[in-house]
Structure 1
């Protein structure tokens, strides 16, 4: 097989405390999975079936421990928002996974940011068009290293938070997820065959807001530490 051009490099996320990397297949994101965030976005927080959107794997921006990540401010927007999220990494694939077995498919967890061109997303929603340009742009998925579930356990509760330039903006608890990680994995597997390498961004608590160049985002989740990302 002779490719027309050199194939792109494999996108991978480091595994904390090891020399391993987690090759990324797909990035799934859950929309409005905290009731307070649903309300701030003008939606009914009633527990209805979850909905999903995707980001390309090469939207990943790795943020190594002890370093400051860089998020290039995207083009064609004047209202780019942060959304701090727990990311679940799939290590065992499957279809129609039962919720009771779903966590057996989760390799580990990471800190993530679902960066959003909110003005473009809103425009698409208002006209009934897909959200891709609002969610799936370059560098839209900063992520910290993946912590193996074998090391940190399965995270069902604990603080999730984000500060912007030292000012608290988002604060919630993983126990506030409308759809738990297990429920989310089970439901998603009805529509897609999950495979090792899939990442699931599980939703964000209330307090989302805009960034500009020069801003510094610092976020964390109990059990996973924290990371810092500068807007450049």
Structure 2
């Protein structure tokens, strides 16, 4: 199931929807039709677990071809918000998680050339999240090295504390796309959160695809284009630490909760690793895609003096 948070008019509040056959089916209104009290937000749906998803799938199937007017809207007529517009806590970012990216970072960003023996973890605050189509902010007073990083996002569906790798995938709700925007010249004594956590530095979406729809999350092509020119292309099979390893490692010391987001790392091809180096500037448009999930497109705009 492809789940979205959307609005059908500029002033409307975000609503939970399901993308189905070129339409966005409104979950709350569908519930009214079938006599079910369905969740009204993505976080509520995740909290309610597999039974809520199963009930929603049955309602969609049962009303196929006979939904009243107003239950569904054409995809092109809605504005997609971030699937979780305001995460409950920081996004867990994973650094240096593709072998070739480790090498290019060592050349250009003074990181170690050795492969990490454990996942490298940082975070991005909820205020960094923006939706498909919303602007990535470029403040020239803050950065001259604004960079891109396409990543597969994993959304946790079930509380996880000290989970073994063998059980980790049962805690995954679904997957999305994230651009781990990074101001390379804003690292502080090796710490990355200010470089990666500023406002608008986490474009996220446009949808969450539930885990049952993704046959193998470790065999997904991911790519990024700037102004139509491809800059990154790889496959999640090249992750240094796979998803079960990431969940097991994070949950060994920090409880993962429903709705938590893990950005699993970026492949090679970032701007800082190119020769000559290349960064994002006002007027650029960046597209990130993960096959089977969707495409995230964001303009870069100037802010500040």
Q: How does 1:77-88 map to 2 (within 5 A)?
A: 77-88=143-154
Structure 1: 5+ residue runs without aligned partners?
1-11
- Give the match for residue 129 of structure 2: 60
- Give the match for residue 231 of structure 2: 169
The worse-fitting range, judged by mean Cα deviation, of 128-137 and 195-204 is: 128-137
| Alignment match, 1:73 | 138
Match of 1:31 among 95, 104, 111: 95
Greater share of helix: 2
| Per-residue deviation, 1:223 | 1.1
2:247 aligned with 1:181:
no
CA RMSD of aligned residues (A): 1.9
Q: Secondary structure at the match of 1:188?
A: helix
CA distance in 2, matches of 1:59, 1:13: 21
**Radius of gyration: which is bigger?**
2
Residue 152 of structure 1: how far off its partner (Å)? 2.9
- The offset of 1:224, in angstroms, is 0.9
Structure 1 residue 221: deviation in Å?
Answer: 1.1
How many aligned residue pairs are there?
Answer: 212
Q: Scaled by the length of structure 2, what TM-score is found?
A: 0.65
**In structure 2, what is the equivalent of residue 214 of structure 1?**
283
CA 213–114 in structure 1, closer or farther in 2 if over 3 Å, else same = same
Distance 1:40 1:192, change over 3 A: same
Any residues of structure 2 matched to 1:1-232 within 5 Å, and which?
17=19, 19=27, 20-22=41-43, 23=84, 24-26=87-89, 27-42=91-106, 43-63=112-132, 68-74=133-139, 76-121=142-187, 124=188, 128-144=189-205, 145-209=207-271, 210-232=279-301
SS of equivalent residue, structure 2 residue 101? helix
Structure 2: runs of 5 or more not aligned = 1-13, 20-24, 28-40, 44-83, 107-111, 272-278
CA contact (8 A) 1:86 1:203 kept: yes
**TM-score of the superposed pair, with normalisation by structure 1:** 0.85
Change (3 A) 1:72 1:13: farther
SS of 2:223 mapped into structure 1? strand
Higher RCO, Cα 8 Å, sep 6+: 1
Larger mean CA deviation between 177-186 and 153-162 belongs to 153-162
Contact 1:35–1:45 at 8 Å: present in 2 too? no
